[in-house]
Amino acid sequence: MKIIGLIITIMTGGFLVYAAGDFPAWSDPSSPASTYLSPYYIEKAIEETSVPNIVTAVLADYRGFDTMFEATVIFSAGLVCFILLRIMGRKEPETRHYRHVLTGVTVTIKEGRKIPASEEFERIDDLWTPPELIIKTACRVLIPFLQLFGLYVIAHGHYSPGGGFQGGVILGASIILLAISHDLRTATERMREKVVAILCPVGVAIYAGTGALCLLLGANFLDYGALASVLHVDPITARSHGILMVEIGVGIAVMTTMIWIYNNISSAGKYNQGL
């Protein structure tokens, strides 16, 4: 089986190298993409959308459908992780462990019983390790700056590299960092499971809703120029604002999907203390 796999891999690689010879040379001015499409974007993007970063204009406006379904793909990935691990995952009889914070004594309680809620006991798992003060403090200082940077990347995607995907990943990573440095329970207290599960489709719906709003205003789907009458600006500025709206939608969807996937994978669908 291994040898067949090796042969298939080498053949595929050989075909790939063979086919790569037929590609136009890098930055070849007479290649099909550079003869009409790229010059059009480079010349017209700023006039038509007033967005200096051409990549963002192409991604969110000229190729808006593409990006919408990319966001949908990411949402589906999160949903599948949730269904496989959280809903269809194995249910085991639960034994709860509680640790008395002041003395460090651990209490084990069998299925179906609970301890009276109090500040003195914290819930722990079998794999509990003492919290690292240095890591916790360093991450606590780092996380606000990460989140601020994520917001900047989303909002500044018009003018510099970045946009909804990257900013959303950075925002999600800040919550994941909280879950790694403290534990998953601390992170899910800040960003509850329900909030994550609701915000994820809401992000995709913001994108699709912006497109549908354009449709209702009498233009094509995702033709942001139609938003001019709602936003009270000229159609070109409206395109810029429309791009920002869908970038925010993508950012919310990507952020919550990253948190959702991490929560489910790191705790195997049990939402206990995680990594």
Partner 1 sequence: MFWQIDLAILTLVVVTTVGSLMVKDLLGAAILFGAYSFLMCLLWAIMGAVDVAFTEASVGAGVSSVFFVAAVFRTSRRTKD
Q: Does 146 bind partner 1 (CB under 8 A)?
A: no
Contacting residue, 173, 200, 208, 248, with partner 1 by CB under 8 A:
173
> Does position 200 bind partner 1 by CB under 8 A?
no
Rg (CA), the chain: 25
Q: Residues 64, 56: contact at Cβ < 8 Å?
A: no
Of these, 176, 214, 226, 244, which contacts partner 1 (CB under 8 A)?
Answer: 176
By CB under 8 A, residue 68 contacts partner 1: no
Buried b (16+ CB within 10 A) or exposed e, 219-249: beebbbbbbbeeeeeebbbbbbbbbbbbbbb
8 A C-beta contact, residue 200 and residue 184: no
Handedness of CA 32, 159, 46, 67 (dihedral sign): positive
Contact pick of 60, 61, 98, 163 for partner 1 (by CB under 8 A): 163
CA 239 to CA 50: how far, in whole Å? 8
Q: How far is the CB of 62 from partner 1 (least distance, A)?
A: 14
- Binding of residue 268 to partner 1 (CB under 8 A): yes
- Taking the complex as a whole, the smallest distance from the CB of residue 107 to partner 1 amounts, in Å, to 26
Q: Which is nearer to partner 1, 53 or 210 (by Cβ)? A: 53
List the interface residues with partner 1, window 13-32 (CB under 8 A).
26
> For residues 169 and 213, which CB has a smaller minimum distance to partner 1 in the complex?
169
Q: How far is CA 166 from the centre of its chain?
A: 8
In the complex, minimum distance from the CB of residue 242 to partner 1, in angstroms, rounded to a whole number: 19
Per CB under 8 A, does 162 bind partner 1? yes
In whole angstroms, what is the distance from residue 265 CA to residue 186 CA? 16
Q: Is 170 in the site for partner 1 (CB under 8 A)?
A: yes
Considering only the stretches 97-105, 130-138, 161-169, 209-217, report the one whose residues sit in contact with partner 1 under the rule CB under 8 A: 161-169
Taking CB under 8 A as the rule, does residue 34 contact partner 1? Answer: no
Name which position in 60, 71, 169, 191 contacts partner 1 (CB under 8 A).
Answer: 169
Q: Interface with partner 1 includes 180 (CB under 8 A)?
A: yes
Q: Tokens for 35, please give them.
A: 């003869």
Structure tokens, 45: 């993007």
Nearest-approach distance from CB 111 to partner 1, in angstroms: 23
151 interacts with partner 1 by CB under 8 A = no
Least spacing, CB of residue 72 vs partner 1, in Å = 17
* Residues making contact with partner 1 (CB under 8 A): 2, 26, 53, 55-56, 59, 161-163, 165-166, 169-170, 172-173, 176, 180, 258, 261-262, 265-268, 274-275
